[in-house]
């Protein structure tokens, strides 16, 4: 059985072992829709608590990363950072058994998939907070995102942010 410090260190294993220049937290979503505010809330918490030159947070409550500006933000990252390790964070919809769970996926995140936007895939690692049940229809999924309980979003955001902050601390950058 491993201890908690191993869990936090393993979360950022690739960054530590593959010569990435920076860690970028790309916090995707909009505060205009409660079910889509998971990313911006996490971005706000991380921005207020991480003060390290190798860690950058893009997307928060004041400056959302969404369908309207995702390509611009990705181009900004490509132009500013030589070899960044990008961690994409976003709300997601799934089945009722996964509701309220947070998933780490060692792969890209498909931005806007639940609303049939499927704009772009981004990230070396993805964090998905399951905030509602996927209805397999963009209009119905939009309605689901409008009805997510604020407390659930705050709880998921706080739990995820604490995990990330402990992981960053374990890196000893």
> Using N-to-C axis directions, what is the helix angle for 38-49 and 150-171, rounded to 10°?
40
CB atoms within 10 A of CB 39: 31
Whether residue 15 is predicted with pLDDT greater than 70 in this model: the reply is yes
Domains of the chain: 4-171 (3.40.50.1450)
What's the pTM? Answer: 0.89
Task: Determine contact, residues 106/85, Cβ cutoff 8 Å.
Answer: no
Q: pLDDT tens-digit profile of 112-122?
A: 655 555 567 78
Q: Are strands 102-105 and 109-111 parallel, antiparallel or unpaired?
A: unpaired
**pLDDT value of residue 19:** 83
pLDDT, position 120: 73
Handedness of CA 54, 80, 11, 68 (dihedral sign): positive
For range 15-28, the mean pLDDT = 88
**Angle at 157 (CA atoms; ends 84, 56), nearest 5 degrees:** 25
- Tally of CA atoms within 13 A in the half-sphere of 146 that contains its CB: 7
If residue 38 lies in a helix (H) or strand (E), which one and from where to where?
helix 38-49
Considering only residues 50 and 1, tell me which one the structure prediction assigns the higher pLDDT.
50
Average pLDDT over residues 5-14: 67
């Amino acid at each position: 059985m491993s201890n908690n410090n191993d869990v936090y260190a393993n979360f950022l294993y690739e960054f530590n072992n593959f010569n990435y220049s920076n860690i970028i937290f790309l916090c995707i979503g909009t505060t205009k829709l409660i079910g889509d505010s998971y990313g911006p809330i996490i971005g706000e918490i991380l921005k207020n608590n991480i003060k390290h030159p190798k860690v950058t947070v893009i997307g928060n409550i004041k400056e959302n990363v969404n369908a309207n500006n995702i390509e611009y933000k990705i181009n900004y990252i490509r132009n500013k950072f030589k070899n960044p390790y990008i961690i994409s964070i976003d709300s997601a919809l799934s089945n009722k058994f996964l509701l309220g769970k947070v998933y780490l996926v060692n792969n890209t995140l498909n931005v806007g998939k639940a609303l049939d936007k499927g704009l772009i895939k981004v990230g070396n690692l993805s964090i998905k907070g399951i905030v509602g049940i996927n209805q397999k229809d963009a209009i119905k999924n939009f309605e689901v995102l409008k009805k997510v309980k604020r407390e659930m979003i705050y709880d998921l955001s706080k739990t995820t942010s604490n995990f990330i902050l402990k992981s960053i601390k374990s890196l000893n950058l």
